[in-house]
Structure 1
Amino acid sequence: MKAIIVQDKAGTLIVNQSQPRLRDDYVLVKTVAVALNPTDWKHASFGIANDGNLLGCDFSGIVEEVGPAVSKTFQKGDAVMGVAHGGNPEQPRDGAFAEYVVAKGDTLMKKPTSLTFEKAATVSLGAITCGQGLFQKSLKLQLPDDPIRVKTYVLIYGGSTATGALAIQFATLAGYSVLTLCSKKHFKPVKDLGAVEVYNYSDPDVGSAIRKDTQNSLKYAWDTFGKAESSQICADALSTEAGCIYGCVLPNKCPRSDVTSVSTVMYTMFGEYFTMRGIEFPAMPDDYDFAKKFMTLTEKLLAEGALKTHSEIIKPNGFEGVLEGLKDLKEGKVSGKKLVIESPRHHR
């Protein structure tokens, strides 16, 4: 089969990759579409993945075979959407950029009929990242199925990113008043998603402006960028009172010592041991249990139309298009959209 593997810290297309072996708690899926994320090119360029590891996380497709230990009710022919642990040295065949993908069965979602395969491919990685950051580990907000009743602000840095756009919706559905930061050209789209106020991240003193507008009451900030400038803005926006939390998708810390900093790593969702650049991550069964529940909730919200997918750009040329897309992401050429590529079997 065709697949994208890591070779010399770059993605490489091969045409003779063997089909991945189905494990007991996994599902074998024929890919229809894959979506690209920054973690894909970073796993290659930063040496996180080894040579020969399959790349890719987000995908949608058709169930081919179901492992005997999968508890969710899937059968051959079901349309599904999910996330794989691409670039995983411990399981080198687990990437999504291939004609067949193996994915942890109980974290998969059935694709709503209202979504195309291309749109469905954009959701899963961002959804579980939001789940861990907003609800499980970092901010520990109330879930959308048990919304908060008291007006409470949440700041999301990077509301126009694919993950940030989902975060705005999840937090809004959970009853929170969402503030977000992005460039001015994205103000309307993020407001349409539910943000009550939008700020230009490049404005000087924007953090202090947010603190003033919230009357020094902002206790929660979630950063989808994880850079020094984004953490500083969050620090300036958060209240001077005790009990503030800064969450981040990267191992970034708030520059204020009085603010609790909590970062997350999406790949713990599978409940399996893995390594990243020499750092060992033990199996985390609680993260796997949360992922199963949160992806089931996400599936329900999508089916009800309560959750909108991020705007996508569909690139042509099958997996050759994946390589082009990874280059575009690495060079910072993608803004406010998510790149999606059809599988070669469906592209022809």
Structure 2
Amino acid sequence: MNTTEIKDLIEKYNSQTATTEEKKLVEEWYERIDGAELTLNQSEDIEVKEQILSRVTSRIQKSAKPKRVRLNDVWPFKAAVILVAFMAGTYIYFKQNSRPQVSSTIAKINKKPIVPGGNNAVLLLADGSQIILNKTSDGQVANQSGVEVIKTKSGELLYRFTGNSTAEAAAINTVSTPRGGQYHLILVDGTEVWLNASSSVRFPTAFVGKERKVEVTGEAYFEVAKNKTKPFIVHTNQSDIQVLGTHFNVNAYADEEYQRTTLLEGSIEIKQGNKKALLKPGQQASLNLKTAGIKVNEIADLEAVVAWKNGYFQFDRSDLPSVMRQVSRWYDAEVIYNGKIPAKQYSGKIPRNVSVVKLVEMLAYSGIHCKIENNQITVNPK
């Protein structure tokens, strides 16, 4: 296995697209280099990185001595070094003393590396059986009451009639994402649903009666298929959102102070008890269960609201706990605070596919200083 193949395999591991065998191989590499130390007699960082790569590749390659990397081939080995040494909470420390000597230590790593989330979800069928979608082959995964469920090549879940559906026997299904998961599904009426991490949508395989009703926890983005005679209703633990055909985002995580529903296109009506509000595009409704009220605001940057769906964290004057809750869900890592939480607001945009180490580096630019240890992200005062 050459350096390029090593790099590609680790990138697959980091994006959670590696096979079970590939994941096992990468984790075995980590265990083998655990605690390794390097001491050189030259002070150039590039020489340190070169020897780290040599040590790692020598463990991986079963035959042939590792090829020494030339200085004009910096990118291939640099990428591999960064991915191998920095991914999943592994650190490399460089020290320079008065003597021309550099030492580097690969710190002890976790058995469960902290990695970005991916396309992970579980389908719960009406009979109680569960299908782990990221471990299921493409093609038909179920057939219920004349509605087939298909996992497409692009990794989404598609519901469609087979032609002999019995509407009276529509089954109830639930798609749930874990922490560190997301998923896209298309309901039988053509409505598309994107689920964020730690979220779920419960829905019938066929919509019977005068309305189309689904239940949501966590966060979801909807592009509802138009049907003037059959309104689409999204039920959360705080409200009912009624639409005819529109695009909107609902954030209803239990650990958030507010439930926020943001309209991008069309119109929606939100009901909370005997209170209701009609939203226009560009508006957001905030609901607080404790105060039992609906507050409607204009949203200047709609892109920030649905950034998660498009592969980004995007913060717009967000407080620190709000920022770190998103990080915690997507990387499936516990966040703890060392000292008082600073009362500041943060703005910025970060790709959701970056390694946790790169994420921490980028957060530091905004004044959020973190340490990764034992599957935890500790937020420290500056």
- Normalising to structure 2: TM-score of the pair? 0.23
Higher fraction of strand: 2
- Normalising to structure 1: TM-score of the pair? 0.25
Higher fraction of helix: 1
By relative contact order (CA 8 Å, sep 6+), the higher-ranking structure is: 1
